[in-house]
Amino acid sequence: MKQQIENLQKKAKEEILSSTTLEKLDEARVKYLGKKGELTLVLRKMGELSPEERPIIGSLVNKVRDELENLISNRLEELRKEELNNKLEKEKIDITLPGIKLKRGSKHPVNRIIEELEDLFVSMGYDVVSGPELETDEYCFERLNLPKGHPARDMQDSFYITTEYLLRTQTSAVQARVMMENEEKTPIRVICPGKTYRRDDDATHSHQFGQIEGLLIDKNISLADLKGTLEVFVKKMLGQNSKLRFRPSYFPFTEPSYEVDVSCFKCGGKGCNLCKQTGWIEILGSGMVHPNVLKMNGYDPEIYSGFAFGTGLDRLAMFKYGITDIRLLYTNDVRFLNQFDRKDEENEIKY
C-alpha cells in the first residue's frame, strides 16, 4: 500500500509539473485529488488496513495530498502568469515610433533677451518701464540736450510723421519721460527695453531695431558705479570671462560719455573676423547723465547725479545665439523661430 501511494505521488507530481495549460492542470487535479480521484480512492481503501497500519498510511496520504495541492496551486500561479505574459506579448508595440507632436511654441530671440535682462535688473531693484514709440521731438531729442539743428542728430536720421512727431530713434526718450513724470523728483532706477526706428537699412542695420536703456539717478553716483553695473550686465549676457573696455566718446545726453567694448567672445581677444581683428566688440553706449538733461527734466544736478546706458538688443541676440544676419530676426521664418523653443543654459550671476 505504501508502495502504491508513493508510485501515485511520483506519477501525479510529474503530471502536474508537466501540464502546460490550465485545462491540463485541472485534469490532473481531478484525476488525483477529485472525488473519484486516485488518491481519494486510496483513502477509501483505508478501512481494509490493520489498525497498526492505518495511522501510518493515513498520515502518509495526508502528506502526499498536501504536497500535491501545493504543487497544483504553484503550477496554477505559474501558468496564469505565463498566460498573461502571452497575452501582453501580443500587445507589443514599436517603441521607436515618434511620440505625439505636442506643438511647442517659442519666444522670439529678441524677447528672450529682453526677459533675461528684465530679470537681471529687477533683481537689482530696477523697475522696467516703457514709453511711446510714436514720440515727440521734444522727448526724443530736445529734453536730451539735442536741440534742433544739432549735428549729433545726424547719427539718428529719423522717420517723422509731422514736424513734431516721429518714431523714436532711441529708447533714451523714455529717460526724459521717467524724470518728468516723477513729480517728487525722487531717485530713479529703471530700464526700458523697446523698439526704435532709424532711416537706415543694410546688411548690418535694420530700420527697426530693439534697444534697451538703463537710467539710475541718486545721490553720489559715480562712473565707478556705472562700470560695476555694466560689468554685471555684460558678464551675464556674454559670459563670465568677458572683459570690458571703456572708450571716451560723445553723446549729447551724457557727460562724460563712454562707448563700451567687450573682449571678443569668439576669439577671446586674439583677433578674428567677428571683431575685425581688434579683439574688441563695441557693445554699449553709456555715460554720466548730462547736468543739462537733469536740469531740463527737473532734477538739481548739485544734489543728484546718475548714469545712463543703452545697447542694441538685436545685436545681443545675434551674439548670444550665433545669428549672423540681422534680417533673420525680422523675416520670422518658422524654421528659424522653432529653434528657440528650449530653456537657456543657466549663467550664474556673480556680483
Q: DSSP character for 160?
A: B
Between 46 and 152, CB nearer to other proteins? 152
Between 32 and 197, CB nearer to other proteins? 197
Please report how close the Cβ of residue 206 comes to other proteins at its closest, in angstroms.
8
Please report how close the Cβ of residue 183 comes to other proteins at its closest, in angstroms.
19
* DSSP character string of 199-231: S--SSS--SEEEEEEEEEEETT--HHHHHHHHH
The secondary element (H helix, E strand) that includes residue 19 is none
Angle at alpha carbon of residue 28, lines to 27 and 31, rounded to 5°: 85
Checking 328-336 for CB contacts under 8 A at 24+ apart, the result is 329/108, 329/109, 329/110, 329/206, 330/206, 330/208, 332/108
Between 48 and 94, CB nearer to other proteins? 94
Between 128 and 274, CB nearer to other proteins? 128
User: Rounded to 10 degrees, what is the CA torsion of 300, 127, 117, 258?
Assistant: 0
Please report how close the Cβ of residue 150 comes to other proteins at its closest, in angstroms.
8
Side chain identity at 8, as an amino acid letter?
Answer: L
Please report how close the Cβ of residue 21 comes to other proteins at its closest, in angstroms.
37
Cα(144)–Cα(131) distance, rounded to whole angstroms? 15
Between 19 and 229, CB nearer to other proteins? 229
The Cα-based distances of 300 to 31, 254, 290, 306 in angstroms read 110, 15, 11, 11
- Centre a 10 Å sphere on the Cβ of residue 113 and count the other Cβ atoms it contains: 25
Between 272 and 337, CB nearer to other proteins? 337
Cα(320)–Cα(314) distance, rounded to whole angstroms? 10
Please report how close the Cβ of residue 131 comes to other proteins at its closest, in angstroms.
10
State the cell numbers at 19: 501540464
Cα(146)–Cα(225) distance, rounded to whole angstroms? 26
Please report how close the Cβ of residue 121 comes to other proteins at its closest, in angstroms.
6
Please report how close the Cβ of residue 208 comes to other proteins at its closest, in angstroms.
5
Q: Decide: 24 and 17 in contact? Cβ < 8 Å.
A: no
Between 26 and 259, CB nearer to other proteins? 259
Please report how close the Cβ of residue 117 comes to other proteins at its closest, in angstroms.
10
Between 43 and 155, CB nearer to other proteins? 155
Q: Decide: 331 and 242 in contact? Cβ < 8 Å.
A: no
